[in-house]
């Protein structure tokens, strides 16, 4: 147990701090995951040049080309958070497609798509879930049939964030309808401008349209836009899902949120008394603080395991389940602490924190469900982590997908 950073890392931390301070005027305004602004693209280029984003991606694909160094990556993340500086692009293209292409893409695909994705020139969306294929993703039915050199795609995707702005989609389609269901899927890349694609915004309980539905009617896509082999899409997609699950449940987000609630309870009053004086609210806050700390130290343990190349086992499997639930409970406490002020929303007078607590409380429920529901996570923990058996298949179930 040694939590100190050695001198070269201390120096690296200092360099990151100096860089952020020196270039403060170039910080772009915080943007959503949609189309990046010109300022954001310039910032992204500068960060790549410094090796503060796309750090380990080879230079020939538009990355920095550094050696993997988990501690440096961690220091970069910590210092950007501490300074409140915007990080590099983090949409689904950068965080999910790029790692997938590096692992499974052809040389031509890597050379063509990775640089354009990293620079922010091309924005991606992800076409995985369907109305009938959520937790059971392998039952997806969007069909791609052969027609000469092309596939003709028909079907529907849902939960497609940024689809209305995206230039391209990475999409799972069924190309071999007669194969066993996990072996009949292919992973395609195609333009969202292709005729026959219709995007409809999907408004959620938050009042915003964070997602879309995407409809495909006779969408013609060249067959060479496939990643991996025909019928291999499930393995390619799992490479991507692994990257997504790693993103959900980050304990540092919970820690930031906890600090905001501490401040809120110090400043806000009820009957003229600080909320922090209320022993019931305070006890809830402390219970959540225990959980946040436990997840942060669990994160340090995972980091060390990653550096040592060790399998962290259950410690990793629980992060999505526990982290998302924790964030949800933190938002719930903030709302309860604010009481009637906590129910204000939209553009109401007396609104606190721009309504973020209610929005988070609702959106976090979406994160508990999305990216593998809490129930699917518990199946994974019990089956992979604890070695318990899978639910037996009903005797009459048919094997292949229809």
Does residue 293 bind other proteins (CB under 8 A)?
A: yes
Specify the DSSP class assigned to residue 121. S
Does residue 390 bind other proteins (CB under 8 A)?
A: yes
If one counts every other C-beta atom within 10 angstroms of the C-beta of residue 371, the result is 18
Does residue 321 bind other proteins (CB under 8 A)?
A: yes
How many angstroms separate the CA atoms of 118 and 107, rounded?
16
How many angstroms separate the CA atoms of 156 and 162, rounded?
16
User: Cβ closer to other proteins: 328 or 359?
Assistant: 328
Does residue 162 bind other proteins (CB under 8 A)?
A: no
Binding map of other proteins across residues 224-263, x = CB under 8 A, - = no contact: --------------------------------------x-
Of 239, 336, 323, 249, the C-alpha closest to 285 is 336
Does residue 103 bind other proteins (CB under 8 A)?
A: no
Of 351, 92, 373, the C-alpha closest to 210 is 92
Give the residue, chosen from 90, 208, 209, 294, that forms a contact with other proteins under the rule CB under 8 A: 294
Give the residue, chosen from 156, 248, 377, 401, that forms a contact with other proteins under the rule CB under 8 A: 377
Does residue 396 bind other proteins (CB under 8 A)?
A: no
Binding map of other proteins across residues 57-86, x = CB under 8 A, - = no contact: --------------x---------------
Does residue 202 bind other proteins (CB under 8 A)?
A: no
Does residue 303 bind other proteins (CB under 8 A)?
A: yes
State the residue for tokens 């009957």.
Answer: 271
Q: Distances in Å between the alpha carbon of 183 and those of 138, 142, 172, 235, 238?
A: 9, 14, 12, 9, 13
Structure tokens at 170: 């990475």
User: Which 29-48 positions form the footprint of other proteins (CB under 8 A)?
Assistant: none
How many angstroms separate the CA atoms of 35 and 40, rounded?
9
Does residue 397 bind other proteins (CB under 8 A)?
A: no
Strand 168-174 and strand 185-191: pairing?
Answer: antiparallel
Q: Choosing from 213, 244, 268, 383, which is the catalytic residue?
A: 244
- 244 in catalytic set: yes
How many angstroms separate the CA atoms of 383 and 235, rounded?
20
How many angstroms separate the CA atoms of 94 and 97, rounded?
6
- Range in contact with other proteins (rule: CB under 8 A) among 32-40, 222-230, 357-365, 377-385: 377-385
Strand 124-127 and strand 143-147: pairing?
Answer: unpaired
Contact residues: other proteins, CB under 8 A: 1-6, 9, 71, 262, 265-266, 276-277, 279, 282-283, 286-287, 289-291, 293-295, 297-298, 300-301, 303-305, 307-308, 314-315, 318, 321-322, 375, 377-379, 381-383, 385-392
Could you list the active site residues? 244
């Amino acid at each position: 147990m040694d939590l100190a950073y050695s001198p070269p890392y201390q120096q690296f931390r200092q360099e990151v701090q100096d860089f952020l301070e020196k270039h403060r005027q170039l910080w772009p305004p915080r943007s959503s995951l949609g189309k990046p602004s010109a300022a954001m693209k310039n910032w992204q280029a500068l960060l790549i040049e410094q090796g503060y984003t796309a750090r380990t991606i080879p230079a020939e694909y538009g990355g920095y080309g550094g050696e993997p160094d988990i501690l440096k990556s961690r220091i970069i993340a910590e210092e950007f958070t501490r300074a409140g500086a915007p990080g590099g692009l983090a949409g689904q293209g950068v965080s999910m497609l790029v790692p997938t292409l590096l692992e499974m893409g052809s040389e031509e695909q890597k050379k063509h798509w990775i640089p354009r994705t990293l620079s922010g020139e091309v924005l991606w969306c992800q076409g995985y879930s369907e109305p009938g294929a959520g937790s059971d993703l392998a039952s997806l039915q969007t069909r791609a049939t052969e027609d000469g050199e092309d596939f003709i795609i028909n079907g529907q995707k849902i939960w497609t964030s940024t689809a209305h702005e995206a230039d391209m989609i990475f999409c799972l389609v069924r190309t071999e309808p007669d194969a066993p269901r996990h072996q009949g899927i292919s992973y395609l890349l195609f333009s969202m401008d292709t005729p026959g694609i219709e995007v409809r915004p999907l408004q959620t309980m938050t009042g915003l349209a964070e997602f879309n539905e995407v409809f495909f009617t006779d969408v013609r896509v060249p067959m060479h836009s496939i990643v991996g082999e025909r019928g291999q899409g499930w393995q390619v997609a799992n490479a991507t899902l692994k990257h997504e699950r790693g993103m959900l449940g980050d304990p540092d987000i919970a820690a930031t949120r906890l600090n905001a609630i501490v401040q809120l309870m110090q400043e806000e009053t009820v009957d003229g008394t600080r909320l922090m004086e209320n022993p019931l609210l305070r006890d809830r806050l402390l219970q959540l603080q225990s959980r946040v700390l436990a997840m942060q130290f669990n994160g340090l343990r995972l980091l060390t395991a990653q550096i040592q190349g060790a399998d962290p086992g259950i410690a990793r499997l629980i992060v999505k389940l526990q982290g998302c639930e924790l964030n949800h409970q933190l938002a719930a406490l903030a709302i309860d602490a604010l009481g009637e002020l906590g129910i204000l929303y939209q553009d109401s007078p007396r609104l606190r924190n721009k309504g973020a607590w209610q929005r988070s409380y609702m959106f976090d429920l979406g994160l508990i469900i999305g990216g593998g529901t809490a129930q699917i996570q518990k199946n994974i923990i019990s089956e992979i982590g604890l070695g318990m058996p899978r639910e037996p298949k009903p005797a009459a179930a048919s094997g292949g997908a229809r």
